[in-house]
């Protein structure tokens, strides 16, 4: 792996309380751990979009000038303003391009033209995709190159940070972290309509709509925290991966997307030591069930029954499986493995 002709070009990642930039920043740090060299400026976190774009432009330009001919360049997608620029120069220099795909606009419903997006993907030699379900979709929609699965996003601890203690008992506190607004998470505000609800939903994130919540609600809002703080603040027994505006299923554009992607919050929950509850049709459900690090449900209506059926033994087995996998997540295991396969 420690090859000297492997590079990436860092840029500015806008600082925000939601963890939007965290996966991309982590990927760069893992790449440098396995011997990739950054040709751009040092990774930065400037909050201003305009200033950030200027830093990124000059950093990327510097990197592209320094990029050796016929080397390997690892890029991340989406990279809205600079994608075509970077890939054009890399191709001109005869470089092999490995593309780590974070989000697919077409699958998210943000882009109706699948051919146009696929054209961009086909400019890369290898794609690192979330999982096999996503790989199948890419093959069906015209991607011609090599594909490797990631399985889970890694999630690195910040300097001096330690893994939180795992939960001890099979309690009834279900954590939900992420955007709490109506666009992504309208289902939260219907949770009180569930017939059976012997659990609490502890919410972490921005966009909480307090006015939509009754006094004796099962929703318990905890606040919004930066990505490196939220880990220590998150306390509960399970983490919930759910999207959209329905209780019976994950619906709408975000609900469709969860059938293909690996939500980053899955890794966050695992890192916090929490077994994961996921929609049965989500792409990540297969991994959760196979590794016995949580369980899948078809509808939130099933959640109470399911929680009732979990005894202390089953729960502690899940927790110890979570402990095993979280060491991999925090060591960058999944990306290292995927990049290794991509370069073969």
My answer on whether 79 and 33 are in the same domain is yes
Residue 19 has pLDDT above 70, yes or no: no
My answer on whether 178 and 324 are in the same domain is yes
Q: Using CA atoms, how far apart are residues 7 and 23, in angstroms rounded to an integer? A: 18
Of 244, 273, 283, the C-alpha closest to 109 is: 244
My answer on whether 180 and 322 are in the same domain is yes
My answer on whether 234 and 181 are in the same domain is yes
Residues 272-325: tens digit of each pLDDT: 999 999 999 999 999 999 999 999 999 999 999 999 999 999 999 999 999 999
> Is 317 inside a domain boundary?
yes
What is the secondary structure of 114-140 as a DSSP string? HHHHHHHHTTSSEEEES-HHHHHHHHH
Identify the pLDDT of residue 14. 82
pLDDT bin (cut points 50, 70, 90) of residue 184 is: confident
My answer on whether 141 and 115 are in the same domain is yes
Residues 323-334: tens digit of each pLDDT: 999 999 999 999
My answer on whether 88 and 193 are in the same domain is no
> Is 50 inside a domain boundary?
yes
Domain of residue 242: give its range. Answer: 173-329
Give yes or no for a cis peptide into 78 (omega within 30° of 0): yes
Of 175, 171, 166, the C-alpha closest to 319 is: 166
My answer on whether 92 and 232 are in the same domain is no
> Is 167 inside a domain boundary?
no
> Is 168 inside a domain boundary?
no
My answer on whether 128 and 253 are in the same domain is no
> Is 163 inside a domain boundary?
no
Sign of CA dihedral 15, 16, 21, 22: positive
CATH no. for residue 214? 3.40.50.2000
My answer on whether 148 and 177 are in the same domain is no
Residue 2 has pLDDT above 50, yes or no: no
Domain count, the chain: 2
My answer on whether 266 and 236 are in the same domain is yes
Q: Which residues pair with 114 in a beta bridge?
A: none
My answer on whether 183 and 295 are in the same domain is yes
My answer on whether 301 and 206 are in the same domain is yes
What is the secondary structure of 297-329 as a DSSP string? ESSGGGHHHHHHT--HHHHHHHHHHHHHHHHHH
What is the secondary structure of 122-188 as a DSSP string? TTSSEEEES-HHHHHHHHHTT--SEEEE--S---PPPTT--PPPPP-S--SEEEEES--SHHHHGGG
Ramachandran region, residue 273 (left: φ > 0; alpha: ψ -120 to 50; beta: rest): left
> Is 165 inside a domain boundary?
no
């Amino acid at each position: 792996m420690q090859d000297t002709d492997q590079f990436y070009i860092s840029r500015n990642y806008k600082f925000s309380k939601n963890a939007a930039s965290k996966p991309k920043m982590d990927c760069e740090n893992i790449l440098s751990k396995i011997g990739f060299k950054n040709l751009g400026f040092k990774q930065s976190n400037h909050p201003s979009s305009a200033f950030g774009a200027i830093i990124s432009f000059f950093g990327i330009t510097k990197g592209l000038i320094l990029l050796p001919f016929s080397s390997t360049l690892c890029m991340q997608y989406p990279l809205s303003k600079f994608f075509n620029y970077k890939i054009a120069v890399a191709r001109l220099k005869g470089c092999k391009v490995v593309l780590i795909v974070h989000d697919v606009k077409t699958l998210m419903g943000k882009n109706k033209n699948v051919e146009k997006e696929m054209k961009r993907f086909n400019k890369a030699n290898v794609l690192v995709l979330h999982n096999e379900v996503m790989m199948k979709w890419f093959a069906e929609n015209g991607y011609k190159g090599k594909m490797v699965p990631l399985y889970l996003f890694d999630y690195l601890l910040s300097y001096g940070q330690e893994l939180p203690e795992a939960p001890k008992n099979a309690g009834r506190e279900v954590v939900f972290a992420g955007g709490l607004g109506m666009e992504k998470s309208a289902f939260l505000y219907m949770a009180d309509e569930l017939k059976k609800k012997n659990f609490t939903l502890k919410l972490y994130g921005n966009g909480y709509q307090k006015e939509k919540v009754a006094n004796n609600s099962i929703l318990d809002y905890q606040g919004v925290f930066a990505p490196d703080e939220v880990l220590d603040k998150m306390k509960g027994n399970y983490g919930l991966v759910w999207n959209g505006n329905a209780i019976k299923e994950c619906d709408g554009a975000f609900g469709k997307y969860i059938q293909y992607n690996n939500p980053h919050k899955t890794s966050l929950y695992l890192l916090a030591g929490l077994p994961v509850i996921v929609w049965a049709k989500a792409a990540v459900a297969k991994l959760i069930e196979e590794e016995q690090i949580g369980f899948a449900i078809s509808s939130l209506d099933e959640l109470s029954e399911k929680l009732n059926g979990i005894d202390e033994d089953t729960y502690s087995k899940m927790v110890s499986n979570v402990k095993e996998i979280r060491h991999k997540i925090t060591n960058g295991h999944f990306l290292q493995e995927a990049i290794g396969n991509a370069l073969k």
